[in-house]
Amino acid sequence: MSLYIDIPEDKEQLPSLKTGQGKLAWMASVDHKQLGIMYLWLALVFFVIGGLEAMMIRAQLALPNNDLISPELYNQIFTMHGTTMIFLVLMPASIGLGTYLIPLMIGANEMAFPRLNAFSFWMTCLGGMLLYFSFFAGGAPDAGWFNYAPLSENNYSSTQGVDYFLVGLILTGIGSIGAALNFITTVLTLRSPDIKLNMLPLFVWMIFVNAFLMLAAFPLLNAGLFMMLIDRQFDAHFFLASTGGSAILWQHFFWAFGHPEVYIIALPAFGIISEVIPVFSRKPIYGYKFVAASSIAIALLSYSVWAHHMFTVGLSNTVNAFFAISSMLIGIPTGLKIINWIGTMHKGSIRLTTPMLWAMAFLICFTFGGLTGISFAIVPITWQLTDTYYLVAHFHYVFLGGSLFGLFAGIYYWFPKMSGRMLCSKLGKWHFWLFVLGFNLTFFLQHVLGVLGMPRRIFTYPDLPYWKVLNMLATLGAVMMFVGMAIFFWNIYKTLKKPRTVGENPWDAWTLEWATPSPPELKNFDEIPRVHSRRPLWDINNPDNPDKKLN
């Protein structure tokens, strides 16, 4: 009789679409590759919904004194647009790429906890569905994506929308924490014995650092969400100033989560860029150690900048000065990373493929978004420009120009690995140019609109000088992005109907995922290639000229 044995979990065959039969296998699967793809589909579905909401906003704002959408609906739409894009598009897309690629890149056959992996996905998925169920339950949440009290409290809401917001985000938050736990344990316990931590591909490293950020940020959000839920459901008083509570405390909780969240969304994109740029410049990354270490600096600093979202609250000058300085500090490691990526491209033999185009657009647009971000660290500029379209333009440059462009680069780059088919490069370039030009048309002009004084979140506006033409052009840009996205979907649809033709390593890349067939078998590796440097496949293909040995 043995009471104390180590049961090896991964010897048995785990459920997956390739082992099970029928549609239920989709729900039972714990295969990391399939879950990664399901995360990406989830993100894509919600991207369509969130994108349509954005189009509704732009249609309403195209003309002054427009009454296409009622003010009540407009509030719901912009709230749902922001919440969807952040929690149900950028998060699951980043987590999905991580789930798919981390075991492949470190020479593992599964995540450390495959069932937890499935649990995380379904939590995120159910959270999203619950959030959208609010439309059928009387009305969607309408207090903005940061859901400030007291506007989000009972006395100011006519529907249950905010309750659905709270419960939905608690669920997606639990899902994200589960994914983060899995990423860290996988990287620490399942690496191929050859791979030391300083040899991790930068994408893996960024997701690894990011996982710690998620673990520390989401509990703060969830605590705040629970308090507000208790406020709304059980008549507690946490954020109700009229009965002794503090609305400011909600802002602290939300932004103590919310600013790290910006980096949680940006770091995976940094990781993608750090894989794509070296491969298509045919050079190893410039300053690997610096890129890796500066991510840790970003992660730590991101916890000391949250109150720059609250400069207008009336905290003391000392507090404002502290957060202004730390917000400028965090620009340094981020800005230097840009130099690293440009340094990688310098004198490289650059191949202008679709992923590389997205990576270069990322460099330009993200830098611009970062600069307007620095301008917001200056307290008087925030006082002047907060809650105007200048702010809207700034964070769209960060979220789209930064995270989304990075994710597009990643999707074009790894699509052949995931599906065995290459996305059409001609359509890809149409998608790229329409989207990037449309993006800059819409959001560059919104900086000007903001300086002219147009506030965000107003459902219509009077016909003031320049407002009409700038808004019309912004809507035109949104239409260009919409067409670009339609081409992207057409491209995916058309490509998926073709037979599988791609070999193991179509881009001539260097990391371990490209040593598996495209798409990989259910068991990733029968034998893992020996790894001696950060570019194992380079060493194998160029035995005369290998990289410096690191182990």
Partner 1 sequence: MKNKGKLIMLIFIFSETFFFIALIIAYVYYRNFSDTTDTVAKSLDAVRAGIFTLFLIASSGTLILSKKALQKKNYKIFKLFMGLTIVLGSVFTFGQITEYIGLYQKQITLSQDIFGSSFFTLTGFHGLHVILGLIALAILFFLSFGKMKTVTIAGIDGVDVYWHFVDVVWLFVFYFVYITPLL
Site residues (CB under 8 A) for partner 1? 1-7, 112-113, 177, 180-182, 184-185, 188-189, 215-220, 222-224, 226-227, 230-231, 234-238, 243-246, 249, 253
* Cα dihedral 195→199→200→203 (10° resolution): -160
Write down the least CB distance from residue 88 to partner 1, Å.
21
**CA dist., res. 543 & res. 375, Å (int):** 50
**CA dist., res. 98 & res. 117, Å (int):** 11
Residues 6 or more apart in contact with residue 422 via CB below 8 angstroms = 415, 416, 495, 501, 502, 506
The CA radius of gyration of the chain, in Å to the nearest whole number, is 23
DSSP conformational letter for 22 = S
Nearer to partner 1 among residue 139 and residue 245 (C-beta)? 245
Nearer to partner 1 among residue 142 and residue 231 (C-beta)? 231
Nearer to partner 1 among residue 111 and residue 360 (C-beta)? 111
Write down the least CB distance from residue 173 to partner 1, Å.
10
Write down the least CB distance from residue 126 to partner 1, Å.
20
Nearer to partner 1 among residue 81 and residue 232 (C-beta)? 232
Write down the least CB distance from residue 324 to partner 1, Å.
23
Residue 66: left if φ>0, alpha if ψ -120 to 50, beta else—which one? beta
Backbone angles phi, psi at 124, to 5 degrees: -60, -45
Write down the least CB distance from residue 528 to partner 1, Å.
18
Q: What is the distance of C-alpha 85 from the center of its chain?
A: 9
**CA dist., res. 26 & res. 5, Å (int):** 32
Write down the least CB distance from residue 237 to partner 1, Å.
4
Write down the least CB distance from residue 526 to partner 1, Å.
23
* Tokens coding 197: 């931590």
Burial 171-201 (b: 16+ CB within 10 A, else e): bbbbbbbbbbbbbbebbeebbbebbeeebbb
H or E element, residue 330 = helix 317-345
Any bridge partners for residue 388, and if so which?
A: 455
Write down the least CB distance from residue 257 to partner 1, Å.
9
Write down the least CB distance from residue 223 to partner 1, Å.
4
Nearer to partner 1 among residue 7 and residue 545 (C-beta)? 7
Whether the ω angle into residue 519 lies within 30 degrees of 0, i.e. cis, is yes
**CA dist., res. 510 & res. 506, Å (int):** 11
